Structure 1
Amino acid sequence: MTMAYGEGDARVLALDGVSLDLYEGEFTAVMGPSGSGKSTLMHCLAALETPTDGKAYIGDAEVSGLDDKRLTALRRDRIGFIFQSFNLVPTLTARENILLPASIAGRKVDQELFDDVIHAVGLESRLGHRPSQLSGGQQQRVACARALVTQPDIIFADEPTGNLDSRSGEEVLSFLRRSVDRLGQTIVMVTHDAFAAGFTDRVVFLADGRVVDEMRDPTSERVLDRMKQFESRTGRR
């Protein structure tokens, strides 16, 4: 997969022939220095951008070749998103925010799954609260629950702990880890944080728009060492 922006001398190659398989029921981190193509890769995989060349698939669906109507249905039915900025509706309660995507799609959420997710994120006593009444960590857990209750094929998380303190960040990461282990969820997380990557099954490293390495069963220490190696080669952080 290739993704280029601009023309002529201003052309920037954000992705340079990336080929990557992501596996069902796994928690994968995508890491790399600034400008390595992490967010661009996630946007192409999640059908938020169309690559200049190449194809992206979710299961057997080619997401890079769908028209707007089918893209909307794919994002609604098969993809979940967790953003750094939470993206909650301020006038809705936590419960209403969690159920909003399903409500828009006209779908009923399985009550047992809803209860399991709410218990896992520890929000039982906060469902009637609006975002302004919740801490940052609680708001992100609402966003995580919102992504999970529709049972998407895959969840894309873009720096999900970037706006959180260390304790809240660890709570969110632990929940994502449990959702993979207990619910069989597939999660792809873009992060710059070696501690966050230590919660995953696999880390894919990007540099200059290419996949340059990967690590199975990562620890934060091993990931940090690997990132330092890349930084020393490129001179970028």
Structure 2
Amino acid sequence: MTTTTTGSRALTAPAVRAVALEKSYGDGDAAVRPLRGLSIDFDAGRFTAVMGPSGSGKSTLMHVLAGLDAPDAGQAFIGRREITGLPEKQLTRIRRDHIGFIFQAYNLVPSMTAEENILLPGRLGGARADRGLFREITGRLGLSARLGHRPFELSGGQQQRVAVARALVSRPDVIFADEPTGNLDQATGAEVLGLLRAAVDEYDQTVIMVTHDVQAASLADRAVLLADGALAGDLQAPDAGRLAAAMLEVTR
């Protein structure tokens, strides 16, 4: 990450930035506008939760910021690099080299083992895996004995843990997590959240997580609330009680 220095303070570009993002689907009375001129910065090396009622634009924002969807207007940046309008080949390279994804749909390759799925993004980019980090992450996720199994031989929770390991093991700058604990039991969900927290605290990565769970969001450094495609709240060091009250206010 590029920095400049003013006095004794280093000024660092946001890890992810949205500027006046607009997005709509459909036409006429059936049109939906999940993003309405939304601008927001996500600081590097922090864990941010994104919350809001259904239809507030959370997942659309995530997809646009990760380069998986294009906005109708506005700009999205990864670090200092604007990704809106880039050719697909350049977008693919940025996603492969700088971004990790954890979504409710596991997106595992059925014919590959768990280990092969975890290592796939790095191999596509020609990078050599850090085997020590691989063993640490798969061990913490309880996958060590399941690495030779294919997705159909794994439970839903195990498949999600493979998807989490895949996102973490290449040490991306930014990890986007869309409801990463939605299909998990409480214990496994806690393990996944603990690893996301460790990605920030131990590996200096940036995590942006969409969630409806105030307990999960309370582990973040910051929680932003969306409503009708716009920013509706911004809480630093959130706790579950404050988040629940803020969500109640937003949904009224």
TM-score normalized with structure 1 length: 0.91
Structure 1 residue runs of 5 or longer lacking an equivalent are none
Given that 1:140 and 1:172 are in contact with CA atoms closer than 8 Å, whether structure 2 keeps it comes out as: no
More strand by share: 2
Tell me the C-alpha RMSD between the 2 structures: 1.6
Specify the code of the residue in structure 2 equivalent to 1:27.
F
Residue 31 (1) aligns with residue 18 (2): no
* Aligned pairs (5 A) from 1:164-179: 164-179=184-199
Equivalence for 2:17: none
Structure 2 residue runs of 5 or longer lacking an equivalent are 1-20
Equivalence for 1:134: 154
The partner residue of 2:40 within 3, 7, 20 is 20
Paired with 1:182 and 1:118, the residues of 2 have a C-alpha distance of 16
Given that 2:38 and 2:229 are in contact with CA atoms closer than 8 Å, whether structure 1 keeps it comes out as: yes
Equivalence for 1:44: 64
Deviations 1:153-181 (A, max 9, x none): 11111111111122221121112111211
Paired with 1:7 and 1:97, the residues of 2 have a C-alpha distance of 39
Given that 1:14 and 1:40 are in contact with CA atoms closer than 8 Å, whether structure 2 keeps it comes out as: yes
Equivalence for 1:120: 140
Q: How far 1:195 sits from its partner (Å)?
A: 1.5
* Aligned pairs (5 A) from 1:1-237: 1-231=21-251, 233=252
Secondary structure of residue in 2 paired with 1:183? coil
More helix by share: 1
Given that 1:83 and 1:160 are in contact with CA atoms closer than 8 Å, whether structure 2 keeps it comes out as: yes
Deviations 1:73-96 (A, max 9, x none): 111111111111222223322211
Given that 1:82 and 1:143 are in contact with CA atoms closer than 8 Å, whether structure 2 keeps it comes out as: yes
Q: How far 1:15 sits from its partner (Å)?
A: 0.7
Deviations 1:162-207 (A, max 9, x none): 1112222112111211121111121111111112111211111000
* Greater relative contact order structure (CA < 8 Å, 6+ sep): 1
